[in-house]
Amino acid sequence: MAARRSIGQRVARYREASGLSRAQLAEEVGRNADWLRSVESGRLPLDRYTMVHAIAAALDADPVDLLGRPTPVGDPRTRPAHRTVPALRRALLRAGLPLTVQEEPPPLDVLRRRVDETDRLRRHAHYGELGLLLPQLLDDLRAAADTSAGVDRDIAHHLLTEARHNAAMLTKKLGHPDLATAAAAQARQAAAVPGDPLLATAAQWLQAEVCLTVGATAEAQALIDGGLARLDGLLTDTAPGAWSLWGTLHLVGAVLEAQLGRQAESAGHLTEAATAADRVGEHPGHQTEFSAGELAIHLVHAALELGADPDVLDRITEVDLSRLPRERRARHGIDRARLFARAGDDATAVRELLAADRIAPEAVRAHPLVPELVLTAAHRSRTPGPATDAARRLAIPL
């Protein structure tokens, strides 16, 4: 298997194709030529989405191309998930076509159980199993939504919104932001039918997440602001669902502001989210996973984008993360690895990655920054060691 390119090597390739010198590109993103040389050579990891998006904009490139397109034939742990993408793409394309199946759709209680199962698989990063279930579920839910009436019609559209949410999240994690964009837009269409403002806001939050992934910060900001405005009049002592969405939107806002380098604004969002976490407790709603644990890992994630070092982890030592879904805990482990790699502690960074891999291997191996961390650690190591072993375990060709 050919060695995997680092993000820095891809940057060099795009920079040379665009005719820019290192000094010119570095100036565009507020750095110097020596820094860019270290990134392109693999001595420094390009581990901040803020910088990836800034470089992509300067090069007129898609951020996904710099992060690396999906590799469906590489890792046997993620290969089954990638193989489900064509069927899922076709299911999303069918969403606007007339129904062709004349059979009665499954009962709503059966569909509810099937949606719950996809929720579970998404939360714990069982992407291959999730991808197998979603295409037929999306078809069955669309049939139920189109053929039912009254309360049943609203329930069917609610379930369809949830399933499309899971489709958007899966395709986003697997590196297909265009499919995620389509699924999120379809989720928002379904959410508009029942007239439930919380469901509509949940769909807006989903779209904001997808926008953030591709660096569409203005669009993400508009969605966050619109969602918060809708929720403002719905926040009561007996509305945990509204508070969960309120807190979640503020967490996304905190990350967005961090990516824009606005520390005070990011901190303001985290303060609002902390207020919501006190009200919600351990009972989030609308697929948000919102809790004190979710607040803690977003605090770290936002700090990463602002250039923090590992000391930021001291701020969350008293927070219990054990109740978070496996996918969230694994992604936090990746953030921990990024912090230690930034501090030059590659051995600890590799240990954090391998610990995260034991929690949710599909989440770790689908993450675009994991290869970057391993490749940088291997490049900086003078002899084969932990980084080489990690590359072998995570199926990252050196």
**How high is the pLDDT of residue 289?**
84
Dihedral angle of Cα 218, 221, 223, 226, to the nearest 10 degrees? -130
Residue 385, Ramachandran bin (φ over 0: left; ψ between -120 and 50: alpha; else beta): beta
Which of 165, 157, 110 is closest to 134 using CA atoms?
A: 165
Distance CA 52, CA 68 (A): 11
pTM of the predicted structure, to 2 decimals? 0.92
Q: For residue 3, what pLDDT band results from cuts at 50, 70 and 90?
A: low
**How high is the pLDDT of residue 329?**
97
**How high is the pLDDT of residue 165?**
97
Angle of helix 326-342 relative to helix 369-380, nearest 10 degrees? Answer: 30
**How high is the pLDDT of residue 68?**
81
Q: Which fold has domain 1-69?
A: 434 Repressor (Amino-terminal Domain) (1.10.260)
Task: For residue 309, give Cα distances in angstroms to 19, 58, 373.
Answer: 34, 27, 15
144 pLDDT higher than 80: yes
- Mean pLDDT of the region 124-138: 97
386 pLDDT higher than 80: yes
- Mean pLDDT of the region 84-102: 90
65 pLDDT higher than 90: no
Position with higher pLDDT, 395 vs 181: 181
Which of 171, 204, 202, 209 is closest to 185 using CA atoms?
A: 204
E-strand stretches of the chain: none
User: Which tens digits make up the pLDDT trace of 37-58?
Assistant: 999 988 888 888 889 989 999 9
Distance CA 74, CA 394 (A): 10
Which residues, 6+ apart, have CB-to-CB distance to 392 below 8 Å?
none
Position with higher pLDDT, 152 vs 236: 152
Rg over CA atoms, the chain: 21
- Mean pLDDT of the region 231-242: 85
Position with higher pLDDT, 93 vs 4: 93
Q: For residue 178, what pLDDT band results from cuts at 50, 70 and 90?
A: very high
**How high is the pLDDT of residue 359?**
97
Count Cβ neighbours within 10 Å for each residue of 286-317 and write b for 16 or more, e otherwise. Answer: bbbbbbbbbbbbbbbbbbbbbebebebbeebe
**How high is the pLDDT of residue 287?**
65
Q: How far apart are the first and last CA of the chain?
A: 9
Q: For residue 264, what pLDDT band results from cuts at 50, 70 and 90?
A: very high
**How high is the pLDDT of residue 164?**
98
295 pLDDT higher than 70: yes
Q: Is 83 exposed, middle or buried (0-12, 13-18, 19+ CB in 10 A)?
A: middle
Percentage with pLDDT > 90 across the chain: 75
Q: For residue 99, what pLDDT band results from cuts at 50, 70 and 90?
A: confident
**How high is the pLDDT of residue 380?**
86
**How high is the pLDDT of residue 203?**
96
Distance CA 210, CA 328 (A): 17
- Mean pLDDT of the region 386-392: 90
Q: What is the mean pLDDT of the chain?
A: 92
Q: Are 161 and 191 in contact (CB under 8 A)?
A: yes
**How high is the pLDDT of residue 384?**
74
Residue keyed to tokens 């290192």: 22
